[in-house]
Structure 1
Amino acid sequence: MHQRGFGFINSTLHFRCFKLHNLKTSSASSSEQEDMGKEKFHINIVVIGHVDSGKSTTTGHLIYKLGGIDKRVIERFEKEAAEMNKRSFKYAWVLDKLKAERERGITIDIALWKFETTKYYCTVIDAPGHRDFIKNMITGTSQADCAVLIIDSTTGGFEAGISKDGQTREHALLAFTLGVKQMICCYPILCCVAAGSSPINPNNMDATTPKYSKSRYDEIVKEVSSYLKKVGYNPDKIPFVPISGFEGDNMIERSTNLDWYKGPTLLEALDQISEPKRPSDKPLRLPLQDVYKIGGIGTVPVGRVETGVIKPGMVVTFGPTGLTTEVKSVEMHHEALLEALPGDNVGFNVKNVAVKDLKRGYVASNSKDDPAKGAANFTSQVIIMNHPGQIGNGYAPVLDCHTSHIAVKFAEILTKIDRRSGKEIEKEPKFLKNGDAGMVKMIPTKPMVVETFSEYPPLGRFAVRDMRQTVAVGVIKSVDKKDPSGAKVTKAAAKKGAKFYHEQENWVDQLLFSTCFKSPFRNLNFMYNIITKSILLSMSYVHSIIIGPRFIIIFKKKKKGIVSWFAFSAEFYSIENRPKQYFQLHRRGINLSFDALLSIRLVFCESDLTLS
């Protein structure tokens, strides 16, 4: 990945690198990252499905097969599982790290792991299937590009999962609602994958009667396809892959037990996933999945970059509180990054921030580029999917949007609309029922960050939960945001310029002129300090920044109602090539000369801005 901003002045200015663990920060690792980026695309895959369908076993076995875990570790898990009389759990324990999960035999939290296919670098997210932990499943799914839906093929197991209250149905609906448009279905022993959708895996095919039954596979594919079509997926683009999560049939290589199946293996289905588009040109939005305290390092928030870019040295603002601080370092899978792009699941170290100051659901953003703010209220288009009665004004369910799970109040049902055309059917209806769609004004009961779907899709779609099930889905059309009062700005952020010189009337003079008269510009570090602080002045002053061989900062100062425009341009030279450069400073016709390593100009005028 390329450094941006000041990358072109490395010949004269030096940067400090920070580490979270044993991170690779050498120039060699930078080139390796760049090469990796050129060779393979990074995607996030979530594994979903009904409780006990074989999600963790399938995922753990796949990671093991692809070299993501050592054979000795699997042997240790096998021994521990046998001691607990749970021999079949050896692969699941690759992911189920928590003691409570091992004892209960179910996944409680989401687990992240990585492996590599021929085409992709994959981060795999194992989501819990138990209804008690649906919030964690939603958090994991909201970060995914593709879903692998594991379908229990055993008699009774499949029927329970696909029933009205089954997690197979609800997980598929939530995946589509949360923006996971590609799917693969796996049927143990079965599995399926969809381009721009998720692979579906009918699992435990070795547990069907008879074993590896084609008729059972056909029956499941027909019923699941019908439901996925209702949800919004195109079943024709979803591979249904029969597998055995424990034995490994059809996962990496074709199985002779399934010679009747002519489709792709699970690994091949993953390589058929379409590359998702990455909105790196948008402002940064990074919903937090968790926050950790790491000894000797400090506070490390973790989450997926949804839009924009995050990199070391950036000043970030966390919505909805407005807390502002500096990013010290960014890492993914224990490797330091020069920058993280949309789709990357990263941890980043922040300065002077306690773990208690950040929570799951907060959103990191660039403090200089449309920083995230809390929502006072928002208007959404809502479709009622599965509610036993009627929904009226005052209804207060839980809203799941990105990694945030907050109760919201249906303050006012504005209109009932046609769910297909969007045309208004009725104004101010008294209620909405199953199948109805409407425009609803919502008010969160606690501070939360949401965005319009048109601007930031991952933060503009949501699911509504009540009575332990998904009752509605929707997208956000408009947001009334509120500015945080008394937001904390850390010392690190202040030094970076987030609030720099706001209260000094003549800060430009004090920054440049008083120092000029005291001593010539012979100190490169001092010059770098001036330029950095100038660039990082808050957006209320900075009008625009143009970066090139010469960078130009255009900013304004308002004093006693009069707006003054300033331009600051600098051209950098290598110490070796230009040992002495001529320094010029222009202000209201005053010319001063100094020996320096840089050529710099400051131009002041009150009307048309010109650079000489």
Structure 2
Amino acid sequence: MSSTPGTPNRSSSNAPSVRAPSSKASSKPGSNTGTPRRGTSTPLSLAASDLAGLGLEDSVDEEFLRREAEKYREVPVPTLKQEELIAKVKEDEEKTGKKNISLVVVGHVDAGKSTLMGRLLYDLGEMSEKEKTANERGSLRVGKSSFAFAWGLDALGDERDRGVTIDIATEHFETPHRNVTLLDAPGHRDFIPAMISGAAQADVAMLVVDASPNAFEAGFERGGQTREHAWLVRSLGVKEIIVGVNKMDVVDWDQYRYEDIVAGLKPFLAAAGFAGARTTFLPLAAMKGTNILNDTLPEDADWFKGPSLMEALDRVGVPERPYAAPLRIPISNVFKGQTAIASGVACQGRLASGVVQCGDQVRVVPGDVIASIRTIEVDDDSAPFAVAGQNVTLYLAGVDANQLCIGAVLCPVSYPIRLVSRFQAQILVFDVTTPIITGTAVELFHHSVNVPANITRLVATTDKAGNVVKNNPRVLQKGTTAVVELTLRAATGSSRPAMIPLETAKENKEMGRVLLRRGGETIAAGVVSELL
């Protein structure tokens, strides 16, 4: 028999323990315990009976009641003002024909990612001739003349000294039909956490591979970052990918080399979950700027009839934005800054869902801090509001920088995201060297935060549709889809378990994705199915 919503189900194994009346009949005449006597009951005994039937005695489990209250809490709906803003955004998109997308550029180290994007920005006029000349002189001075365009994005001293991207570089440019936020991610395996942080903010990915002799193979074999980066971006919700086969000038635009690389990547990307219709391959030469801004190719490449990089970017699909869902902004950076527009405590992040306006109050989770939005910057320009899918910088009032942290989430005051230390997730196991068993220690990645955790239970293996194949499996092998229970481990020196803000994928897809890494490799990815 089903229970009334909000009332504990007495037959459920999760029901609270309630102190029941003694099963022994009293030996005293007139006792009210045991089998009730015929006759009129007193109001007091009726009330006691009702309380017992409703499970409202003082021994009801408080944790159960908290979960029930959480289950039935009311999801806020957009206010009239927010509905007007959402309507305005949709109207502007239809009128201008331009939509916002975030593009993450990934690939094996030295594939030419930063050089390619630096060249694109230069050709578009986003990098001045003066800046390009300064970068050429600086890179030549340290014996790295080929890094001139890459220095347009690799601005950190360590990045320039080591010749590799370390942190996410963010730039903005436009195509005829897209406003693009560019996220240039590190390719070196030592900086995978930064790469994951960038990919978690992206709608579209560009995978850059090196066509030089043996270079593609080095990146694509086990241990190379081409495979792992492709798995990661797909696991983080990116459904469309552009593959740039770079340095084609080094192999004299050899058609067979290009087709060999494409033939190697196509089945792998399909297995990773990228549909063929949403996968584009392009031959490129970043240093010379060939096939980037326009499709003018040398005679040696007359065999390619596809689009240029700019044309491919202009055609990418834009996912449906959860404008009407509760506000969720995972923080990817915190700083104290001063610009011509605003100054003070600021944070950066991408709106996973909802709408935010200047003057709004938001709750910072974790923490019990309420802050006010002073200024909003979208693509480095001041804006009165921002909506889901946009990357923003928010200047806040009523909060100190030490009360914010990377990985925290900004939410509506009345509907904060839950903090959890234990949850179930449906995951896909990648190409692991060692099978996953109960107790496996992992590093859990969620947006810009990563915390230690343990797989405390293998709940079930499932098919691709989510149907249970086997309960309580002993191990999880490569390619297995399964439901597992994860428990966060306490931070060093603390006895309390770590807690992170999470939602199930059913509640919010953007806030329900997780990645699992172990020993420097990504072993699984999936979505949160239940908060415990």
Amino acid of the residue matched to residue 466 of structure 1?
R
2:329 to 277, 282, 286: 286
Amino acid of the residue matched to residue 282 of structure 1?
A
Select between 230-239 and 40-49 the one with higher mean Cα deviation: 230-239
Is 2:479 the partner of 1:435? yes
Q: Does the 8 Å CA contact 2:181/2:379 hold for their aligned counterparts?
A: no
Report what 2:529 is aligned to: 477
Residue 406 of structure 1: CA displacement? 1.4
Report what 2:288 is aligned to: 247
Instruction: Return the alpha-carbon distance in structure 1 between the equivalents of residues 372 and 89 of structure 2.
Output: 26
Q: Does the 8 Å CA contact 1:322/1:373 hold for their aligned counterparts?
A: no
Is 2:446 the partner of 1:410? no
Amino acid of the residue matched to residue 223 of structure 2?
D
Report what 2:398 is aligned to: 352
Report what 2:316 is aligned to: 273
Is 2:503 the partner of 1:451? yes
Q: Does the 8 Å CA contact 1:60/1:94 hold for their aligned counterparts?
A: yes
Instruction: State the SS of the aligned residue for 1:44.
Output: strand
Report what 1:379 is aligned to: 424
Instruction: Return the alpha-carbon distance in structure 1 between the equivalents of residues 222 and 314 of structure 2.
Output: 32
Describe how 1:301-316 pairs up with structure 2 within 5 A: 301-316=347-362
Q: Does the 8 Å CA contact 1:318/1:372 hold for their aligned counterparts?
A: no
**Alpha-carbon RMSD:** 2.1
Q: Does the 8 Å CA contact 1:56/1:96 hold for their aligned counterparts?
A: yes
Instruction: Return the alpha-carbon distance in structure 1 between the equivalents of residues 480 and 79 of structure 2.
Output: 49
Instruction: Return the alpha-carbon distance in structure 1 between the equivalents of residues 409 and 304 of structure 2.
Output: 45
Report what 1:184 is aligned to: 242
Is 2:269 the partner of 1:228? yes
- 1:378-407 Cα offsets, whole Å, 9 max, x none, are 111122212222322222201112222112
- 1:260-293 Cα offsets, whole Å, 9 max, x none, are 1100000000011012211100001111111011
Report what 2:179 is aligned to: 121
Q: Does the 8 Å CA contact 1:67/1:115 hold for their aligned counterparts?
A: no
Is 2:470 the partner of 1:426? yes
Q: Does the 8 Å CA contact 2:199/2:233 hold for their aligned counterparts?
A: yes
Residues 396 and 476 of structure 1: is their aligned pair in 2 closer, same or farther, counting only changes over 3 Å? same
Instruction: Return the alpha-carbon distance in structure 2 between the equivalents of residues 184 and 174 of structure 1.
Output: 15
Is 2:304 the partner of 1:261? yes
Instruction: State the SS of the aligned residue for 2:186.
Output: coil
Is 2:135 the partner of 1:77? yes
Instruction: State the SS of the aligned residue for 2:356.
Output: coil
Instruction: Return the alpha-carbon distance in structure 1 between the equivalents of residues 518 and 488 of structure 2.
Output: 15
Q: Does the 8 Å CA contact 1:131/1:167 hold for their aligned counterparts?
A: yes
Instruction: State the SS of the aligned residue for 1:241.
Output: strand
Q: Does the 8 Å CA contact 2:239/2:278 hold for their aligned counterparts?
A: no
Amino acid of the residue matched to residue 465 of structure 1?
R
Amino acid of the residue matched to residue 260 of structure 1?
W
Report what 2:515 is aligned to: 463
Amino acid of the residue matched to residue 321 of structure 2?
R
Residue 162 of structure 1: CA displacement? 0.7
Q: Does the 8 Å CA contact 1:310/1:339 hold for their aligned counterparts?
A: yes
Q: Does the 8 Å CA contact 2:169/2:185 hold for their aligned counterparts?
A: yes
Is 2:381 the partner of 1:335? yes
Instruction: Return the alpha-carbon distance in structure 1 between the equivalents of residues 430 and 398 of structure 2.
Output: 45
2:345 to 299, 318, 329: 299
Instruction: Return the alpha-carbon distance in structure 2 between the equivalents of residues 406 and 332 of structure 1.
Output: 30
Instruction: Return the alpha-carbon distance in structure 1 between the equivalents of residues 105 and 295 of structure 2.
Output: 21
Report what 1:321 is aligned to: 367
Instruction: Return the alpha-carbon distance in structure 2 between the equivalents of residues 253 and 36 of structure 1.
Output: 25
Instruction: State the SS of the aligned residue for 1:256.
Output: coil
Instruction: Return the alpha-carbon distance in structure 2 between the equivalents of residues 33 and 436 of structure 1.
Output: 41
1:205 to 223, 235, 248: 248
- 1:492-545 Cα offsets, whole Å, 9 max, x none, are xxxxxxxxxxxxxxxxxxxxxxxxxxxxxxxxxxxxxxxxxxxxxxxxxxxxxx
Residues 392 and 36 of structure 1: is their aligned pair in 2 closer, same or farther, counting only changes over 3 Å? closer
Residue 78 of structure 1: CA displacement? 0.8
Residue 4 of structure 1: CA displacement? 7.7
Instruction: Return the alpha-carbon distance in structure 1 between the equivalents of residues 153 and 351 of structure 2.
Output: 23
Q: Does the 8 Å CA contact 1:293/1:299 hold for their aligned counterparts?
A: yes
Amino acid of the residue matched to residue 531 of structure 2?
V
Residue 230 of structure 1: CA displacement? 1.0
Amino acid of the residue matched to residue 474 of structure 1?
G
Instruction: State the SS of the aligned residue for 1:340.
Output: strand
Instruction: Return the alpha-carbon distance in structure 1 between the equivalents of residues 82 and 500 of structure 2.
Output: 36
Q: Does the 8 Å CA contact 1:453/1:461 hold for their aligned counterparts?
A: yes
Q: Does the 8 Å CA contact 1:239/1:264 hold for their aligned counterparts?
A: no
Identity %: 34
- 1:217-275 Cα offsets, whole Å, 9 max, x none, are 00000001111011011234311110111100000112332221100000000011012
Amino acid of the residue matched to residue 460 of structure 2?
T
Describe how 1:98-113 pairs up with structure 2 within 5 A: 98-113=156-171
Report what 2:206 is aligned to: 148
Q: Does the 8 Å CA contact 2:327/2:355 hold for their aligned counterparts?
A: yes
- 1:130-185 Cα offsets, whole Å, 9 max, x none, are 00000000000110110011011111210011102111100000010000101101
Instruction: Return the alpha-carbon distance in structure 2 between the equivalents of residues 33 and 172 of structure 1.
Output: 31
Instruction: Return the alpha-carbon distance in structure 2 between the equivalents of residues 6 and 424 of structure 1.
Output: 45
Select between 471-480 and 103-112 the one with higher mean Cα deviation: 471-480
Q: Does the 8 Å CA contact 2:82/2:355 hold for their aligned counterparts?
A: no
Select between 387-396 and 50-59 the one with higher mean Cα deviation: 387-396
Is 2:437 the partner of 1:392? yes
Instruction: State the SS of the aligned residue for 2:115.
Output: helix
Is 2:411 the partner of 1:365? yes
Instruction: Return the alpha-carbon distance in structure 2 between the equivalents of residues 42 and 453 of structure 1.
Output: 23
Instruction: Return the alpha-carbon distance in structure 2 between the equivalents of residues 32 and 478 of structure 1.
Output: 33
Is 2:269 the partner of 1:214? no
Unaligned 5+ segments in structure 2 are: 1-77, 490-497
Q: Does the 8 Å CA contact 1:321/1:373 hold for their aligned counterparts?
A: no
Instruction: Return the alpha-carbon distance in structure 1 between the equivalents of residues 375 and 93 of structure 2.
Output: 20
Q: Does the 8 Å CA contact 1:385/1:472 hold for their aligned counterparts?
A: yes
Is 2:137 the partner of 1:94? no
Instruction: Return the alpha-carbon distance in structure 2 between the equivalents of residues 278 and 205 of structure 1.
Output: 37
Instruction: Return the alpha-carbon distance in structure 1 between the equivalents of residues 89 and 484 of structure 2.
Output: 49
Residue 433 of structure 1: CA displacement? 2.2
Describe how 1:49-88 pairs up with structure 2 within 5 A: 49-88=107-146
Instruction: State the SS of the aligned residue for 1:271.
Output: helix
